[in-house]
Each structure stands twice: as structure tokens, then as C-alpha cells.
Amino acid sequence: GDSVTQMEGPVTLSEEAFLTINCTYTATGYPSLFWYVQYPGEGLQLLLKATKADDKGSNKGFEATYRKETTSFHLEKGSVQVSDSAVYFCALSLSQGGSEKLVFGKGMKLTVNP
């Protein structure tokens, strides 16, 4: 079935460090790919997305490129900040009757220290 595998962490980094969170997927057809972020005490928020191969999603300094050949959607940021401390979820979507059904990875908790 369709699934998402991502780094689980937890990961602790110092401010201004480089961040990579690996994400690979298994899917029938051509899913859209997403990164969601959950800040402490808040709901999940869409961070970025890509809907087709070679698309690059970007937001708040984060980037991820849809790689069909490696079925990957790794998240990167060149210089993390304390405010980036959160849980990050990779996800893919499957169309279901006009709605997008999401399949999530397990999430990775990131802590950034000053």
C-alpha cells in the first residue's frame, strides 16, 4: 500500500546548523507530496508541497524537491533557528472523491538550541 518513511529523530541542532530530514515514499500513481510542521501546542500546518516530479516546494527557508527516480522528498534548511523547533511530518496525498486523503510519516521532532 501507499506509505511514507521518514527520519524519526529526535534531533537536536545548534542555531544556524544545516538541517536535512529524509523522506521516501511508496505509492501507486503520482501522488502530491507535502511537509507539515507542528509547533508546540498547535495543530499541523502545511510547510510546503510539490505536486509533480522535479517540482521544488519552498517556504520559510525550507526546501524540498520531488524526486520521482528516488521516490524521495527530503526537507532541507541551510540555517535553522530556535523558532524552527517543532515536529515535522512528511506526507503524500491520494485523491479520493475530490478530497485529498493524506498518508503521513511518523514525524520527526527537531529541537534547535541557541
Positions in the binding site for other proteins (CB under 8 A): 4, 8, 36, 41-46, 89, 96, 99-107
Q: Residue 18 is which amino acid? A: F
- Give me the residues paired with residue 82 across strands: none
CA-based torsion, 38, 46, 5, 100: positive or negative: positive
Extract the C-alpha cell encoding 33: 507530496
* Rg from Cα positions in the chain: 14
Shortest Å, Cβ 87 to other proteins = 10
Shortest Å, Cβ 2 to other proteins = 11
Shortest Å, Cβ 70 to other proteins = 21
Of 99 and 114, which CB lies nearer to other proteins in the complex structure? 99
